[in-house]
Amino acid sequence: PRSALPADQRALILKWIQQGAQNLSCDSACDTTNVTFSTSVMPLITLKCKGCHSGATPSGNVSLTNYTQVKATVTNGTLLGSILHQTAYSAMPQPVANGPLPDCDIRKIQIWVAAGSPDN
């Protein structure tokens, strides 16, 4: 019921297909110079995790709504185990078919954990 794409947009799609239809992105470089809980880690958790890991019945009975809860998952190993899709852990985020978090997000969390998971 919608009109066809204009010729210039069809040509752009055709060129993308002819070049291999690669899933490329133009994201900015991964900035890991000042990783903190409040500016780097919690925003990722809010965006990628809290949809399932909050409320009265959080998924897996794991709530990630504040520093104390996130720190507990660092201490017991489930945060890194899950986001790295390690064998003994439930791979996150779900659905697994969507793949793991972007490498940059994982690096930020790893840097924060390696620094002792401070409440900063």
- What pLDDT digit, counting tens, does each position of 71-97 carry? 999 999 999 999 999 999 998 987 777
Higher pLDDT, 28 or 110: 110
Q: What is the mean pLDDT of residues 88-117?
A: 89
Handedness of CA 18, 22, 28, 30 (dihedral sign): negative
